[in-house]
Amino acid sequence: MGRSTNLLICFEMTVISLHVDAVSSTIVFASILEHHSKLLPWRDAGPEVIIVPLDSRGLLDLDHLKSQLVNFSGTPSSLLIGVF
């Protein structure tokens, strides 16, 4: 793949075009409840995938998600994507 090659990832009628150089700085946040088939294309493409666990009530742990978003928001030129 050349430097100007684009990668297309499709999920549920959504198309996202990522420049190959941007893939390494892309962080994907996903719920532990997501089906693995929804995560495989992201993992194959190369972005870091962060799995957000459930809290004690069985709901998405929003405190964990918030801490991860704060943690990665300081990363220069990062693209943060939520898959829920």
pLDDT over 90, % of the chain: 30
Tell me, yes or no, whether 30 lies in a domain.
Answer: yes
The answer on pLDDT for 5 being more than 70 is: no
pTM here is 0.70
Task: State the total domains in the chain.
Answer: 1
Tell me, yes or no, whether 39 lies in a domain.
Answer: yes
Tell me, yes or no, whether 1 lies in a domain.
Answer: no
The one-letter amino acid code at 24 reads S
Tell me, yes or no, whether 76 lies in a domain.
Answer: yes
The answer on pLDDT for 45 being more than 90 is: no
Q: Which domain holds residue 39?
A: 6-83
Classify burial at 69, counting beta carbons within 10 Å of its beta carbon; exposed 0-12, middle 13-18, buried 19 or more: middle
